[in-house]
Amino acid sequence: MDFELSPAQEEIVRQVRALCARFPDEYWRDKDSSHEFPHEFHHAVAQAGYLGIAIPEQYGGSGLGITEAALLMREVAASGGAMNAASAIHLTIFGMGPVIHHGSEELKQRCLPAIARGQIHCSFAVTEPDAGNDITHIKTAARRQGDYYVINGRKVFTTKAREADKVLLLTRTTPIEEVSKKTAGMSLFLADLDREAVEVRELKKMGRHAVDTNLLFIDNLRVPATDLVGEEGRGFHYLLDGLNPERILVAAEAIGIGRAALSRAVAYAKERVVFGRPIGRNQAIAHPLADCYAKLEAAEMLTMKAAWLFDARKPCGAEANMAKLRAAEACFEACDRAVQTLGGYGYMFEYDVERYFRECRMLKIAPVSQEMVLNYISEHVLGLPRSY
């Protein structure tokens, strides 16, 4: 067993830290309150070549694994950028998996290099108003007409659509009533987000205000058949391949935010003096912070194990799910304790921990809810009967 990072991995961690240090808490505070996409940060990450970390070298990336991508996302979140920073790049880092593994050579040559360079922003539209966790029940339909597909439907919670040039769009090419297995008949497109046919309506939300989340109304969107990823009808399976990496990355982001919160809280607990002593001398303050630290470390072990399994091409569904479960929980607790440690100041915008707290709440819901993770473990790890 070897828990050590390779020298190149250590270097990535160090250099990403150095890059993120140029975007301090004030930057993120500003972007969060002005609801502005962090273009400068995105540009710096793109320039330094990190967007293509998991995209193969022949398509303009660096061809590294999910382990390296997880380290990148952990550091990006831990810098204080939290979900505003992570979500600005998350989809480029992991979302191209289905295209890389199943897309046609033409599609890959055409799109991946520009995506790796950060010239093309891409959204990921799976969730629908009537099909949240229950993905197979999506209604957005794609009908073939000659060399085109015509797509109609609605998507919800589509992140970054305001910025996006393209959207990785999950549709039904065969209605659910007509397929033998409900996971069949779904198709994935890497489509241009044509504003003539797609209305993007931003949703107001609890946090992560720098990166938008939207409702999409898709009305006769014409997509060339060359934008279809892989074969018609196999979209759901292509998507499944990407779920484990996404869980691993989200877990790493959660750990990063937890670390950010904890470091702010610990620094404050050392300095803040009330009742004639630093508050950190009270076990009521110190112990919860110590406990959070240990929980974040434990979550990180699971996350890195899942990443290692994935990169070694071994099954990692259980580990990826458990990592997401534990990391989202440990992160939420760390952020909550950080707010508590800072007392009234913790509730104030300028002290940043309330921002982390607001942002990290989503990690218990998206991209998969804690409950659905527990369903997975109950059914696929413990072998209990499926409850739904």
Ligand X SMILES: Cc1cc2nc3c(=O)[nH]c(=O)nc-3n(C[C@H](O)[C@H](O)[C@H](O)COP(=O)(O)OP(=O)(O)OC[C@H]3O[C@@H](n4cnc5c(N)ncnc54)[C@H](O)[C@@H]3O)c2cc1C
Query: Which H or E run contains 298?
Result: helix 283-311
**Is 369 near ligand X (CB under 6 A)?**
yes
Residue number of the CB atom closest to ligand X? 132
d(CA 259, CA 28): 16
Q: Which of 8, 274, 284, 382 binds another protein (CB under 8 A)?
A: 8
Rounded to a whole number of angstroms, the minimum distance from the CB of residue 192 to ligand X is 17
Can you tell me whether residue 187 is helix, strand or coil?
strand
**Torsional class of 115: left (φ above 0), alpha (ψ -120 to 50), beta (otherwise):** alpha
d(CA 340, CA 361): 16
Q: Which of 84, 92, 140, 158 binds ligand X (CB under 6 A)?
A: 158
Residues sharing a CB contact under 8 Å with residue 103, sequence separation 6 or more, in sequence order: 190, 229, 230
The DSSP code sequence of 126-162 is --BTTBSS-GGG---EEEEETTEEEEEEEEEEEETTT
d(CA 172, CA 90): 25
Which residue's CB is nearer to another protein, number 19 or number 299?
A: 19
Chain residues 173-232 in contact with ligand X, contact rule CB under 6 A: 213
**Is 276 near ligand X (CB under 6 A)?**
no
Which residue's CB is nearer to ligand X, number 243 or number 304?
A: 243
Rounded to a whole number of angstroms, the minimum distance from the CB of residue 123 to ligand X is 6
Which residue's CB is nearer to another protein, number 14 or number 35?
A: 14
Q: How many CB atoms lie within 10 A of CB 178?
A: 9
Q: Which of 50, 124, 351, 356 binds ligand X (CB under 6 A)?
A: 124
d(CA 107, CA 110): 5
**Is 49 near another protein (CB under 8 A)?**
yes
Q: Which of 5, 36, 62, 215 binds another protein (CB under 8 A)?
A: 62
Contact segment (CB under 6 A) with ligand X among 7-15, 42-50, 248-256, 370-378 equals: 370-378
**Is 85 near ligand X (CB under 6 A)?**
no
**Is 279 near ligand X (CB under 6 A)?**
yes
**Is 48 near another protein (CB under 8 A)?**
yes
Among 138, 76, 369, 99, which Cα is nearest to 242's? 99
**Is 65 near ligand X (CB under 6 A)?**
no
**Is 12 near another protein (CB under 8 A)?**
yes
**Is 278 near ligand X (CB under 6 A)?**
no
Query: Which H or E run contains 251?
Result: helix 235-271
Contact segment (CB under 8 A) with another protein among 48-56, 79-87, 176-184, 249-257 equals: 48-56
Which residue's CB is nearer to ligand X, number 133 or number 263?
A: 133
Chain residues 340-359 in contact with ligand X, contact rule CB under 6 A: 340-341, 343-345, 347
Rounded to a whole number of angstroms, the minimum distance from the CB of residue 159 to ligand X is 3
**Is 278 near another protein (CB under 8 A)?**
no
Q: Which of 7, 146, 276, 385 binds another protein (CB under 8 A)?
A: 7
Is the alpha carbon torsion for 80, 81, 83, 89 positive or negative? negative
Among 332, 339, 268, which Cα is nearest to 295's? 332
Rounded to a whole number of angstroms, the minimum distance from the CB of residue 214 to another protein is 30
Is the alpha carbon torsion for 211, 95, 188, 129 positive or negative? negative
Contact 168, 95 (CB under 8 A): yes
Among 140, 143, 137, which Cα is nearest to 125's? 140
d(CA 294, CA 330): 9
Contact segment (CB under 8 A) with another protein among 9-17, 274-282, 312-320, 343-351 equals: 9-17
Contact 209, 250 (CB under 8 A): no
Chain residues 345-374 in contact with another protein, contact rule CB under 8 A: none
Contact segment (CB under 6 A) with ligand X among 151-159, 241-249, 254-262, 349-357 equals: 151-159
User: Footprint of another protein on this chain (CB under 8 A)?
Assistant: 7-8, 10-12, 14-16, 18-19, 47-50, 52-53, 62, 64
User: Footprint of ligand X on this chain (CB under 6 A)?
Assistant: 124-127, 132-133, 157-159, 213, 272, 274-275, 279, 282, 284-285, 340-341, 343-345, 347, 362, 365-369, 371-372, 375, 388
